[in-house]
Every structure is written in structure tokens, then in C-alpha cells.
């Protein structure tokens, strides 16, 4: 069975890529530049990502409490389980079967439009202040409000995206680079063993140095919509981002990231993931 290796903080992981579409390199161009990457003028542009404090301890606690209550309610409704003593970090003790987990995450995907009140409109000014320009949660092309995704990853589970760049789908389908920035906010269980792996500086690599699919990917038997990247500048190395409670991880939409294996022994990881466009 075909496999490929990735290293996260020096630890090697071999993953099956059986069923993956063909891998090839692109043209000798760097896609990220002053016109195509809205974080081009940020002091952290060279690295491609940064962590910034945006919530007070009280605000963070409020967010986490609200999310805990929402996930707990979904578990009760979907699985009819007793959720006495539930915490997000211990989620996997309550939801251990894959089928049950899929039932829960099918609902958490739409949590923000349904019953959980994360006031994204109130948060946007905080992100604008940190980045120094105006942002919107309205996709300028699709004229749709963006979704915030709640990602719940149990320890050692293999439900993570392969290494990818968020821009590739639009680049491949429409020869268009959407003007957005990625945001990733830790809620629970985010540690040096579970944080989001990044490839610093990878947005500045030529496409001729990036080996990837042009139509989704298959990792460990799971099919993903994102184009899977197998190699970048001859490397397979990723680094876990350092990001603490109350902070937001901003990263370029051109940056390679993914393979977010939760390598903790007994902690479920919960994070919010979304994009904001330049207004």
C-alpha cells in the first residue's frame, strides 16, 4: 500500500495515501505577493503566521463555557447519553464510537448559525485592530456569510486534513486567489502535542517546489476536498503552532498547514476555525 512520511516537531508519521489522485508540481511562480496575500504587510509575513491575544481571561472562559454547554446538549439530544461531569477535554470518554462522533460533528458544523452565540460581529473589530485593516465575514464572491467551524478531534483519531493550502481549490477551479486570512482559535486540549502543524515560510515557495494533488486527497482511507501536499522544497516537516487560551492564530491563506494529529493521550482538542475577508 502506498504511504508517505511527514514529520511533526521531528516525530515521523507514515500515512497511507492509497486512492489519492496523482501528485505533481506546478509552475515556477510564487502565488503569495502584495496583490494576492492580504497579510503581505504584516510584521510576521515572512513566517506566515502569528499568535495574538484577543480575549481576556473572562471572555475566554465565557466562550468555553458556552461551547461546552452546546456540545453537551448535542450529545444528549443525538446520543441520549448521561453527560454528568462533561468537559470538552474529556469528550472522548463520552463519545468513543466513530459513528456517534460523526453524529455530533455533523451538528457542531452548524453550531454558530443554530444555537451557540459566538458574536463574530463583535470580535471582528478586535481582529481588525490586530491586523490594521478592515475585515468582513461576507465572502465577496459568493455573497455568503462565512461559517465558523468547530473542530473536535479526539486523541489519536485520524480525522484531520492532510497538509494543504486553503487557496488551492479556487486557484485550480477558477484561477482566482480569494483575499482572506485564516483564523484558528484554541478552546480546549491545545498543547505542544495537539496544536495545528504549520510549515513556516511555505507561502514563499515556488509552485514548482510543491508536490500536490489537483483534485482532493485520500489519507488513511478518508477522502478530503483539500488538495493534498506531499512535499515542499524537498521537505516533509511541519511545526506545531504555539497558541494559548485567549489567543488567535492568524495565518496566510497561502501557508501549508494540516496533519493536525491530536497526539495527546487523554485530551480531546477543540478549536474554532474560520476565514475573514479583506473588506
Interface mask (CB under 5 A) for Fe ion, residues 120-159, using x and -?
----------------------------------------
Of 31, 55, 53, the C-alpha closest to 252 is 31
For 193, residues 6+ apart whose C-beta sits below 8 A from its C-beta are 240, 262, 263, 264
When the beta carbons of 95 and 152 are compared against Fe ion, the nearer one is 152
When the beta carbons of 89 and 166 are compared against Fe ion, the nearer one is 166
Q: Shortest approach of Fe ion to residue 210 CB, angstroms?
A: 15
When the beta carbons of 86 and 258 are compared against Fe ion, the nearer one is 258
Stretch that binds Fe ion, among 74-82, 100-108, 165-173, 231-239 (CB under 5 A): 165-173
Q: How many residues bind Fe ion (CB under 5 A)?
A: 1
Looking at 37, 89, 166, 169, which residue binds Fe ion (CB under 5 A)?
166
Residue, CB closest to Fe ion: 166
Quick one: angle between helices 98-108 and 57-79, nearest 10? Answer: 120
The span from the CA of 228 to the CA of 216, in Å, is: 6
Q: Shortest approach of Fe ion to residue 207 CB, angstroms?
A: 18
When the beta carbons of 169 and 247 are compared against Fe ion, the nearer one is 169
C-alpha torsion sign, points 100, 240, 61, 146 = negative
Q: Shortest approach of Fe ion to residue 218 CB, angstroms?
A: 17
Is 169 a binder of Fe ion (CB under 5 A)?
no
When the beta carbons of 169 and 264 are compared against Fe ion, the nearer one is 169
When the beta carbons of 166 and 247 are compared against Fe ion, the nearer one is 166
Stretch that binds Fe ion, among 9-17, 29-37, 124-132, 163-171 (CB under 5 A): 163-171
Q: Rounded to the nearest 5 degrees, what angle is found at the Cα of 92, between the Cα atoms of 239 and 236?
A: 20
Of 237, 238, 244, the C-alpha closest to 271 is 244
DSSP state of 202: G
For 49, residues 6+ apart whose C-beta sits below 8 A from its C-beta are 198, 200, 241, 249, 250, 251, 252, 255
Binding site for Fe ion (CB under 5 A): 166
Amino acid at each position: 500500500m502506498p504511504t508517505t512520511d511527514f514529520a511533526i516537531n521531528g516525530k515521523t508519521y507514515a500515512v497511507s495515501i492509497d486512492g489519492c489522485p496523482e501528485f505533481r508540481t506546478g509552475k515556477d511562480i510564487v502565488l503569495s505577493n502584495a496583490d494576492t496575500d492580504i497579510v503581505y504587510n504584516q510584521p510576521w509575513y515572512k513566517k506566515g503566521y502569528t499568535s495574538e491575544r484577543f480575549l481576556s481571561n473572562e471572555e475566554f472562559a465565557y466562550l468555553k463555557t458556552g461551547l461546552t454547554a452546546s456540545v453537551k446538549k448535542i450529545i444528549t439530544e443525538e446520543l441520549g447519553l448521561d453527560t454528568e461531569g462533561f468537559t470538552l477535554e474529556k469528550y472522548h470518554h463520552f463519545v468513543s464510537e466513530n459513528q456517534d462522533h460523526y453524529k455530533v460533528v455533523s451538528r457542531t458544523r452548524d453550531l454558530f448559525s443554530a444555537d451557540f452565540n459566538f458574536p463574530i460581529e463583535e470580535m471582528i473589530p478586535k481582529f481588525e485592530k490586530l491586523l490594521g485593516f478592515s475585515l468582513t465575514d461576507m465572502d465577496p464572491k459568493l455573497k455568503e456569510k462565512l461559517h465558523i467551524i468547530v473542530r473536535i478531534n479526539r486523541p489519536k483519531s485520524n480525522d484531520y486534513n492532510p497538509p494543504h493550502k486553503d487557496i488551492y481549490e479556487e486557484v485550480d477551479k477558477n484561477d482566482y486567489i480569494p483575499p482572506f486570512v485564516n483564523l484558528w482559535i484554541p478552546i480546549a486540549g491545545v498543547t505542544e502535542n495537539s496544536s495545528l502543524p504549520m510549515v513556516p515560510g511555505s507561502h514563499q515557495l515556488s509552485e514548482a517546489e510543491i508536490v500536490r494533488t489537483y483534485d482532493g486527497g485520500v489519507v488513511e482511507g478518508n477522502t478530503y476536498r483539500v488538495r493534498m501536499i506531499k512535499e515542499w522544497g524537498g521537505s516533509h516537516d511541519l511545526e506545531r503552532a504555539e497558541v494559548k487560551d485567549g489567543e488567535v492564530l492568524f495565518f496566510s491563506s497561502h501557508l501549508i498547514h494540516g496533519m493536525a494529529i491530536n497526539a495527546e493521550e487523554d485530551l480531546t482538542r477543540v478549536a474554532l476555525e474560520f476565514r475573514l475577508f479583506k473588506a
